Structure formats: structure tokens, C-alpha cells
Structure 1
Amino acid sequence: MPDEQNTGGRVVLAGAPLGNVGDASARLRDVLTSADVIAAEDTRRLARLARDLGVTVRGRVVSYFEGNDERRTPELVEALASGAVVAVVTDGGMPSVSDPGYRLVRAALDAGYPVTAAPGPSAVTTALALSGLPSDRFVFEGFLPRSGSNRRTRLRELAAEPRTLVFFEAPHRIAGTMTDLAAIFGADRPAAVCRELTKTYEEIRRGGAAELAEWAGTGEVRGEITLVVAGAPAGPAVRPDDGELREEVARREAAGASRRDAIQAVADDYGLRKREVYTIVHTPV
């Protein structure tokens, strides 16, 4: 194990602005000018950030993104062994939070090198604070699966989670995600779609899941999106009568759920067996 006092090699996770360059910290400026190596998610964005901040990057700049981080990490650990300060900078927010960085952090710690941070903005906590939803306990789920069936499976697993949920989502998938969420979590589950945080066209849309699904489906939603969803109510709700159960299943189907998923979601909401709800739905009135 290297002697940390002698080698000087260390990793610095540098938080970059989400969009507004005015959010850059003095420490970020110092890291960009003093680091021996900067592992950047996008080297062009790093160059633009440095220009906007009026600083000169003197260290060696290497690309470090999801497609090459496995191959490049050993090279960066070698730089640590030579005493280099290696900074990690992503396109925005804190490295290693659904962004490159974790692999290098783990490798550096395993090799005995210290890891520190120049903290900065985070889309997760910024969206959570702006959502108007409970923020005392929350869980970050990153990106949902890309395929519709896998996404719905994950949402069914999370439907009963009592803590506030935070997701990242791509703009071209937000309409499908909100439709699935309304069908599985319930049309009225409170949520907030936070778009282009800190940027010129920042937008926060708050409402029930079905309302937000309708908004997302009416036009092209652009920009980086963080989705915040209220946790499930504590305990099963009071059981409605059979007619109300049929109506609830029908509402979820109208919101885009398959009948199977709608029946399962209603059963979960009210602490019922799926077979019981199935029988009610398929019994002639």
C-alpha cells in the first residue's frame, strides 16, 4: 500500500455547475488550474467551462466517460502512483452520481490512495428541494430501464416505497415513463418534473402523475430531466366497494396500463389479493 504522505497522489471529485456557471465554486476553479490530470466526461465541455470561468487548465486532460472508464481507470491509478492529483469532472453535478467516477473511486481506495471532493451542485438534491414533496427521507433510483416492459417491472417494485423517489430521465422517454407511472402508482400520485435546472429555460411541472403524463405527451419535452415522485401512502387504503374497484382498474387502463398491471396495482394499493380484484373486474355487473 502506498504511503499517502509521500506520494501525494489523490483523487478529487469536482462538482460542476448544472447549467449556470455562476454556481461554480472557488474550489472548482482551484482544482481546474492545479490538478495534474483532469478526467473529463466531455473534454469539449471542460474547455468551455474553463473559458467561462476565466481559468487556464494546466494539467493533462483525458476523456473519462461510461464507454471508456473501465479501460482508462488503470491509467489514472498509475498517475496516482506517480504522485499526481487526478480530478474528475462531469458535464454537470457531482461525479459518480449516475455519472463517471465510481469506478475510479473504488480503484483508488483499493490501491490505498485518498479520495476527496470539491463539492458542487447536484441535480438530485436541487430537484428534491424544488419539488415541494417531502424531503426528509428519499431514495435516488438513477435512470429507469429503457425498455417499456423492464421499466414497468421496476416501477411495480417501487410502487409501495414510502420514501420520496428521485429519478433521472431522458426527454424522449419522459412521456412513456409518466404514463407507466400513472398506471402503476396511481393517477393522483404527486410528482414533479424538473427540467433544465439552473438554466435559462428552467421549468418545474408539479401535479398528479396522470396530469404530468398528459403534459409530457402533448409536445416535445427537451433538456435534462430530474423526476421527483411522492412516496406511497402509509399502509393500504380503506377498501372501496366492488364498483369503485372496477372503476379504479378502468382508470389505470385508460392511463395506459395493461389490465394485468392495473389489477395488480389496485390490489397492491388496497392490500388485496390479485385474484380477488381479478374476479371482481371479470364478474358481470
Structure 2
Amino acid sequence: MASDRETVAIVGGGTMGVGLLYVFAAAGYDMTLVEPDAARGDAARERLRKAAEGGLARGKLTKAQAQAVTEGYRHVTTAGDLAEGLSLVIETVPERLDIKDAVLADIAARTPKIIATNTSALSIDRLAQAVRDPETFVGMHFFNPVWSLPLVEIIRGAATSDATLCAAHGFAEAIGKSAITVTDTPGFATSRLDLIAAMEAIRMVEEGVASAEDIDRAMMVAYRHPIGPLRLSDIVGLDVRLDIARSLSGSLGPRYAPPRMLEEMVERGELGQKTGRGFFDWTETA
């Protein structure tokens, strides 16, 4: 559990931001959420309420932890509203350099001890250009849903100090996560492994090797994956998969090139769960 003196802020109230606030608040940190959009801030609070109710019902949270998750955090609208010298600030805003650069610069102006980015694809060294002291900057790549998946991929940039890396591992341990350390290379470790399986599964559907249902079943039954690569792609978003595939194929070569089938699905607006249709029918949950 965290010391009551340790203060953490999450910048971005989307899906990942909600998950991060949940696990850090449950671990006892003094929390702040930065979310400029009032509607998104309200939606984040509602998702936290439902998640805390579920965690309490399953015995994953105590009543005190559930209260910390739902009521024990501050909501501010800009990074400039943060207190100075926080223990850790994690940004989890959209994967666009212009947005991240601006947000990271605002965070750095508040001089937190550590700044982390929850990017799954962007270069840590490139993003470090936006902060004052790159020694205090590190990648912390969490996985959705954050409260369920135990891995944190910690990405060390060229300037990341030993102290920052050690502290990042300490934060991961404090919230009950297992951490691996990787260097700042395209796709890091997990995105490369995940994407190569997803692209091959899509090619198999494209080539008529088997149905999406049977390809996923093969991975789950034979290799004990909790979810198949095609259903997971639908959940991640096929447009996100396509963006990452194009990025990695440009830096790592044609083995990551997106299949034409994926490009066509995205062109048709079949993006997976969020649009109701991808490799599976999600109309009841979209």
C-alpha cells in the first residue's frame, strides 16, 4: 500500500485513465484526475462507481477502498491546476504527438518527481523532448482493463535515470502489478507480440483458413489465451490496430504490414466493438 504522503495524478479521463485512477486509489494513493471535458469527467466518475461496486461485490475491494475509488480523488480541468512536486503524474491522452507534447509540457511545469506516459506505440525518447528533465521521464504501458490485467510494461528512454526506473517499478509493485523493463524500440515488447498474432489471424480469415470464431477458439483452447486475437482486435479497435500496423511496418518491416482485409474493414467503418461490427457482432454492446 502507498504512503499517505505519496500523491499521484492521472491526466485523461478515458478508459485507461479510469482504470489507472481505480488501481492507484485502491492502493491508497492521494489521487487527482485531470480531465478538461465536464461530460467525460462525469462519465469517468460513473464508470468508477460501477467498477467499485463490482470490485466490492467480488471481494476485490474493501469498503474503504471502494470509497477511495469513487469519492477519494480530486478532479481538475488542466495539468496547470495540479499541485507542484507530485510523486507521479501519468498522462493517458490520445496517441497523437501534438496532444502529448502539449500535455507533457504542462505536466513538467508542475515539477513532479516522475512523469510517465501510458503510450503503447510512441517513442519515449521522442516524447521526452517535451519535458524539462528527461531523466524523470519513463513509459508505463498498462493494459485494459487495468484493474484485471497484471502486467505493466516499463519503457526506459535513453535519458531515464536509474532512480526513475526503480521508482516506476516500485509504483507498479504497490498497485499489485508485475513489471517488465524494455528499451525504447518500436512496438516495445508487448505490442510487437500482440500485433504479429493479430495480423496473422486476420490473414488467415482473409485466406479462408478458418472462421474468426474457430481461429480464436484455437488460440484459447490450444494455447490457453484468455481471449482470441480477433475478438481482442475488435475490443482494441480495428482502426487502432491499423495505425499500429502501419507504424511498425514502416520501422520494422513487412512482417507487420496490415492485411488488405483490415484496411477495407476500417474503410467501411467496421472498427469492432465501438461501432457494433468487426470480426464479431457487437451491436448489443456498442
Asked if TM exceeds 0.5, the reply is no
Q: What TM-score comes out, normalization by structure 1 length?
A: 0.31
More contact order relative to length (CA 8 Å, sep ≥ 6)? 1
- Structure 1 or 2: more strand by fraction: 1
